[in-house]
Amino acid sequence: MVTVPTQEQEFQRLPLRLAYTFLKENGLANEAAEIKASQDRVGNWVSSLRSAKILVLLRRENLLGKFIEMHWQFAKSPAGIKKLKWYDELYSKFKTSGTSSPPPEEETEVGTQFALEAHLRDYLAENLGILEPGLSQWPVENGDFVEYPVDDQGPSHRIDILAKDRGGLPVIVELKVSRGHEKTIGQVLYYRAKIKHQFSAERVRIFIVAEEISPELRAAASEISDVLLFEYSLAVKVTTIAT
């Protein structure tokens, strides 16, 4: 039997959309629905805790190996094994107290630098209110609001975060870990057109987040309605440890 790689195998996060479908296909629809509806959290981590719960369920049902082979081969890499361990630690924290902070390893990755765009994406996905009060995840049926696919053309056609504002309007959040260039505008306008069609929305807002917004992007964005630009910065906290 030949396993055909899916487009989500390269992603660092557990692909929730595929995981929910996989659980349903293997007779675990009720469990999938319960996890998807859960608002449990560890610190600010809600979506990541859902992923951790799915991994526990897959192990319990002896389905984890099958899921990884079919949908998430990144988990077999050294970085993926590290990510699996972090999910396990997150679940352990949840079972211990339900309100503890995330494991230090993930805090270090996020708090030190967003070396990969995925780190910035995951952090903002759990803290959307940083961008705008009332901003929340878009309710996606049988899927995930992170890396939301707008078509079947592969990973390059995925919205980093699909959110909604407090008025219910769809919000496309596009992330650039370093510098945002003017070509980003063409990308997000394509996303806007697809989201308008998918959800019959008359209006879709766009948030572009980058470490630095180039003058060209600033000028291009000024010609388009409902586009907000954000620059992020990092803070380092040093704590003295008694010896």
Cα separation values, 60 from 41, 51, 53, 54, 75, Å: 21, 14, 11, 10, 17
pLDDT computed for residue 158 by the predictor? 84
> What is the average pLDDT score of the chain?
80
Confidence class for position 235, pLDDT limits 50, 70, 90: low
Stretch 184-210: mean pLDDT, rounded? 93
* The predicted structure's pLDDT at residue 117: 63
Lowest mean pLDDT among 96-105, 127-136, 166-175, 188-197: 96-105
- pLDDT number for residue 106: 42
pLDDT the model gives residue 65:
92
> Are the beta carbons of 47 and 16 closer than 8 angstroms?
yes
Q: Taking 90 as the threshold, does the pLDDT of residue 157 lie above it?
A: no
pLDDT band at 194 (very low <50, low <70, confident <90, very high): very high
Tell me the average pLDDT across 168-192.
86
Mean pLDDT over 65-83 rounds to: 87
- Exposed (0-12), middle (13-18) or buried (19+): which is 24, by Cβ within 10 Å? middle
> Given a cut of 50, is residue 1 above it in pLDDT?
no
* Averaged pLDDT for residues 121-133: 87
Instruction: Report the alpha-carbon distance of residue 62 to residue 56 in Å, rounded.
Output: 10
Any idea which of 15-29, 74-88, 114-128, 209-223 has the lowest mean pLDDT? Answer: 114-128
Q: What is the pLDDT of residue 132?
A: 93
Q: Which residue has the higher pLDDT, 103 or 45?
A: 45
**154 Ramachandran zone, left/alpha/beta (phi>0; psi -120 to 50):** left
> Taking 70 as the threshold, does the pLDDT of residue 227 lie above it?
yes
Class for the domain spanning 117-231 = alpha beta
The predicted model scores a pTM of: 0.58
For residue 115, pLDDT over 80 is answered with no
Query: What ranges do the domains of the chain cover?
Result: 16-103, 117-231
Give the model confidence (pLDDT) of 18-58 as tens digits.
888 999 999 999 999 999 888 887 766 777 888 999 999 99
Q: What angle separates helix 78-96 from helix 104-112, to the nearest 10 degrees?
A: 120
